[in-house]
Chains A and B, each alone.
Chain A
Amino acid sequence: MKKEKRFNFNLIGCFFIYLMSGAFLVSCFSIEDIDSRTFPMILCILCMLLATIFLVQILKGKYTNADINMSGTAKALLMAGIILLYIVAINLVGYYIASIVFMPLAMLILGQRNWKIIVGVDVGVILFLYLFFGLLLSMQMPEGILFH
């Protein structure tokens, strides 16, 4: 029976290093001053060299999926998406209003079902943020464009 070949997740890391160092290297060529570009250029090449050694070792089978745990990534990325929406909401309606909505929503998604806890934490944290940062420290809070 033919053994099914599994995707080696280490390749993601390798690809990411190539992508980042490649982008930096291309950007180096647009820097006119030679002093400013030499050091980063050497670093980019070093980075690519390391990524190539890594790739060779992956292909040789030295790095496998044995030490990698990617389970739950979909759930983590879903949360990342919600946080992104939260950041967009902050830019629209401001920090306090966005946080009042985000916290109970996140708590519900993460499995909290006790309404007393959800409401208590939501109100308590926002109150603390307002009193400590807003009033006591007079800190500038993110304001949404809708209420600016």
Chain B
Amino acid sequence: MPIYELPLLLRIMPKPEIVSTLKRAATAIFEKGGFIRKIENLGQKDLPAKTSSHGVVSRQAHYFVIYFDVPPKHISNLEDIFNRDIDIVRNRIYKHDLTVNNKPCTLEDELKPPPYRRDVQKLLKITERQESRKKKFSYKSGLNYYPFQK
């Protein structure tokens, strides 16, 4: 089972209701044969924009992130369940990439000029490959430059 990340934005409400909403979400996951690895509480925060869901406008929300495992075929069903929940303002399910955090990264590497950075070099290589695929017009003059004014 792959690991998924579920950011949940709950509307502002008292603690018992938050607990019950979280439990509802967790139970939905358990019912699909999954299990939860971790629940993170990021606290109450301002929303980046005035957000409307289920006919209610929210400006703030309780931010939670749930890391869970579930068979991939149930993901769309879970999304549907969370979208129907009126206490959830926003939710989205992402696949948790384990490889991202394993990459070594130092400040020294980050402060290098762009052409020396590994990620930039990677991008340049991709561009080079794309460019090489394109057909370049050949004048067939035997010269390596265009002899006339362009």
Q: Do A and B come from one complex?
A: no
